[in-house]
């Protein structure tokens, strides 16, 4: 299962669109209709679209074949072309069940190869209904609105969207969007060697430990950086939040631009038993805000 924060749905849609063409319900003057996603297109929260998603598999008009006449000879020309992969996102349970019924008819011998072509290239992301309306007929046709048909089922909460794969096709798509793992990579210091002609500075060479974080299913088109004043004391809470499904932007209470006093210890290579305490109110590499407290930890004694 994957989790995406509602505040970052644009990133989820962009990740899907990089893999396949993405279609989702969008509000129009005529009501909610499926349209191809591109940056700026907003996902409609309407209960249903004006037209069914069946249009993706049965277009209103279609050229089935061409004919070529030469004298008394008639040649039939197959005009079919391979359909590109696409994703239909936000299909309701009733529409998803309708596709299952159509499969029973058009994928049974003799197979409708036009329908089969589109169906094999389409991935259905259905949306579970949390509050079906009284006019809905899912219960009448034994449709579980909370667990509809589809390659992937999406469950929406107040702040997140959960995606659960139900078919191999759905699992393959989710696998391309990011893993189930969460990652924290750091070190106990930020030591680096001096560059030619460079003078040693504790702030520059000792107080810049790396910190890389990735939440479950979190992806970005490029490396994201944040200048939040983080301390090692924050990591235990960060671990718990990652395990609860938070992404990297939600695991700390501190943000870039915040001012905070942080404590750090300075020691030299092979002299780890002698440490001096410093405090800083600026960035980790800001030597001007680094002040020694006078506290010394001497474990050699």
Q: How far is residue 270's CA from residue 267's CA, in Å, rounded to a whole number?
A: 9
- DSSP lists the bridge partners of residue 262 as 280
Confidence check: pLDDT of 168 > 80: yes
Supply the pLDDT for residue 200. 62
Pairwise CA distance, residues 245 & 162, whole Å: 10
Higher pLDDT, 9 or 141: 9
Torsion of CA 108, 114, 118, 120, to 10 degrees: 40
Which of the four pLDDT bands, split at 50, 70 and 90, describes residue 167?
A: very high
Instruction: For residue 123, list its beta bridge partners.
Output: 87
Q: How confident is the model at residue 17 (pLDDT cuts 50, 70, 90)?
A: very high
Query: Token pair of 194, please?
Result: 């001096």
Band (36; pLDDT cuts 50, 70, 90)? very high
Tabulate helix, strand, coil % of the chain (nearest 5). 25, 30, 45
pLDDT, position 154: 93
The pLDDT mean for the chain works out to 84
Contact 126, 152 (CB under 8 A): yes
Query: pLDDT for 62-120, tens place per residue?
Result: 777 787 888 888 887 776 666 789 999 999 888 889 898 999 999 999 998 888 989 99
* Percent with pLDDT over 90 in the chain: 26
* pLDDT tens figures, 179-197: 556 788 887 666 656 667 7
């Amino acid at each position: 299962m994957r989790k995406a924060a509602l505040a970052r749905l644009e990133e989820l849609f962009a990740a899907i669109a990089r893999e396949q063409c993405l279609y989702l319900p969008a509000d129009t003057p005529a009501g909610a209709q499926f349209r191809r996603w591109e940056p700026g297109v907003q996902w409609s929260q309407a209960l249903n679209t004006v037209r069914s998603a069946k249009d993706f598999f049965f277009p209103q008009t279609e050229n089935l074949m061409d004919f070529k006449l030469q004298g008394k000879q008639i040649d039939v020309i197959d005009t079919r072309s391979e359909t590109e992969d696409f994703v239909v996102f936000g299909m309701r349970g009733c529409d998803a069940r309708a596709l299952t019924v159509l499969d029973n008819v058009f994928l049974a011998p003799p197979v409708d190869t036009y329908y089969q072509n589109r169906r094999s290239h389409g991935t259905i992301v259905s949306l579970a209904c949390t509050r079906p309306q009284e006019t809905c007929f899912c219960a009448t046709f034994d449709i579980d609105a909370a667990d509809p048909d589809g390659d992937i089922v999406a469950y929406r909460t107040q702040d997140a969207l959960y995606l659960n794969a139900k078919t191999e096709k759905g699992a393959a798509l989710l696998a391309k969007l990011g893993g189930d793992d969460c990652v924290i990579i750091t070190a106990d210091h930020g030591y680096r060697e001096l560059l030619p002609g460079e003078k040693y500075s504790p702030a520059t060479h000792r107080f810049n430990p790396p910190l890389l974080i990735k939440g479950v299913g979190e992806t970005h088109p490029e490396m994201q950086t944040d200048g939040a004043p983080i301390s090692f004391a924050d990591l235990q809470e960060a671990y718990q939040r990652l395990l609860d499904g938070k992404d990297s932007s939600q695991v700390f209470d501190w943000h870039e631009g915040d001012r905070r006093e942080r404590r750090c210890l300075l020691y030299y290579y092979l002299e780890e038993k002698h440490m001096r305490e410093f405090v800083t109110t600026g960035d980790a590499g800001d030597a001007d805000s680094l002040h020694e407290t006078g506290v010394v930890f001497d474990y050699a004694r």
